[in-house]
Structure 1
Amino acid sequence: MRTRKRLARDPPYLESIVQYHGKWPFYRFLGMQEPASVLFSLFNFLAHDHGISKLKQYIPASYKLRRYYLLLGYFGLASWILSMVFHTRDFNVTEKLDYFAAGASVMYGMYFAPIRVFRLDKPDALDGKTGTVLRLWTALCVSLYLAHVGYINFVRFDYTYNMAANIAVGVVQIILWTSFSIQRFRKVGRIWAAWPGLILAWIVLAMSLELFDFPPWWGMLDAHALWHLGTVGPTIWCFLIKDAQEDMQSSRLKA
């Protein structure tokens, strides 16, 4: 109502649309507070669901990394379900669940990266002791995530800290996957070997849309919604599983 009055004012305001309590006004559609973000979150959910089905179809259960790839998909499903819930109705509980799920998805990406890059799933990973490094890495990641959730839930719900924490974890992943992609490309000389680094570069570009904080176009499409739209493509790309197929073929040849 207040936004409509501002838009109808003559002469017009220098800024007709303003934020209220840090949020832009949106037109509701079918009861959804941010319909574009809900729709694009659904697209991401479907992309993860499709990727999981492809993994189950083409990657045999005997492949050791299969369960880690599947968990990557399941964490994504949970994250985008709660994203849809939050953008449909913005309550304290839905906001926290969205943040917790997104943080868990990002943290799992951090957890999975060294497992794939250094093959911590193998008995001889790094120190030659069966599972020792993997168990320590698992305990560290779980502890860091629980500490993060405990802080923002029981100490202070700090938006700046939450974003900084996710960015820091993301940067570590970018370094790992980019280095892995470069080494892999030099080894095999095929463009698919560079996919992990290229996928992350796309995601970073999509996330950078958050920097362009502007009033929603047509009352629905804002920078946050565009960010969600921008992650659909790399999600589909991520589950093309070429790397897993080549890794299995290499293992068979060595055997």
Structure 2
Amino acid sequence: MLDPVVQYHGKWPFLRILGVQEPCSVLFSLLNFLAHRRGMSQIKELIPAKYPLRKYYVFFGYVGMASWLFSMIFHTRDFNATEKLDYFAAGASVLYGLYYTPIRIFRLDQRKPPVKATLLRLWTLICASMYVAHISYLTLWRWDYTYNMAANVAVGVVQNILWSWFSVKRYQKLKTPWAAWPGMIVAWIVLAMSLELLDFAPVRGLLDAHSLWHLGTVGPTIWWYNFLVRDAQQDIAGERLKA
């Protein structure tokens, strides 16, 4: 009778391929990286450079690619430095998602009324300070896995609620299926995240719950960029009609 597979310091043993510690997580992180790169190309190609929200969407692509690049590095070789870079990049990606969400929903990028410019500067300062404080705590005070997870989940929940609310309002206004996409994407991501709760031993030493979570985010990422393009084009068309 074979002995059961057990975790060591909270980690499952994996079958290495060409020295890669977690091959499936690396592969699925690569797919997410490519999804962001493809999406950023769509943004640059299909949204005019003068559209004020375009720069926020392009930077979202850069942050997303950086996050998944460091994820690939960490899952290839789990060292103290690669782990920190992965966590810091993931935190930046989640927080940036929260940053640009109210900018789009409440159109803080617009110059009128003037108070929006003030709110945008204040919101930028708040988010930058939150990230610096987050990194400083983990680096200078204590490397706390529970806190890091709780912080990321809290930030993710807030933006998910905002996008779900926006999705309902947008659909009620436009009466078109794509306007409801943000809410559907949020639901998909929540379901994908739930895979982490399974935490089973890697199938054939390769496929575990964490790698499936990475796989589950590829589709929503592609879908999200499609929404950003549709939303921007609708916005631009509406402005032309007003003119």
Aligned to 1:8: none
Please give the residue correspondences for 1:9-24 in structure 2 after superposition, counting only pairs within 5 Å. Answer: 11-13=1-3, 16-24=4-12
RMSD over aligned CA atoms reads 0.9
1:236 pairs with one of 208, 216, 222: 222
Aligned to 1:120: 108
Q: Which amino acid aligns with 1:250?
A: G
* Count of residues in correspondence between the two structures: 241
TM-score by length of 1: 0.93
Aligned to 1:175: 161
Aligned to 1:224: 210
Ranges in structure 1 where 5+ consecutive residues have no aligned partner: 1-10
TM-score by length of 2: 0.97
- 3-state SS of the aligned residue for 1:121? coil
Please give the residue correspondences for 1:197-212 in structure 2 after superposition, counting only pairs within 5 Å. Answer: 197-212=183-198
1:190 pairs with one of 166, 171, 176: 176
Using the TM superposition, give the Cα deviation of residue 80 of structure 1 relative to its aligned residue in structure 2, in angstroms.
Answer: 0.3
Ranges in structure 2 where 5+ consecutive residues have no aligned partner: none
Aligned to 2:94: 106
- Give runs of ≥4 in structure 1 deviating > 6 Å: none
Q: Which amino acid aligns with 2:14?
A: F
Q: Residue 64 in 1 paired to residue 28 in 2?
A: no
Q: Residue 40 in 1 paired to residue 28 in 2?
A: yes
- 3-state SS of the aligned residue for 1:192? helix
What percent identity do the matched residue pairs reach?
65
Provide, for residues 24-82 of structure 1, a one-character-per-residue CA deviation record: whole Å limited to 9, x for no partner. 00000011000000000000000000001111111110100000111111100000000
Instruction: Name the CA distance, whole Å, in 2 between partners of 1:169 and 1:237.
Output: 21
Provide, for residues 2-37 of structure 1, a one-character-per-residue CA deviation record: whole Å limited to 9, x for no partner. xxxxxxxxx344xx1000111000000011000000
Instruction: Name the CA distance, whole Å, in 1 between partners of 2:43 and 2:166.
Output: 22
Instruction: Name the CA distance, whole Å, in 1 between partners of 2:16 and 2:237.
Output: 51
Aligned to 2:17: 29
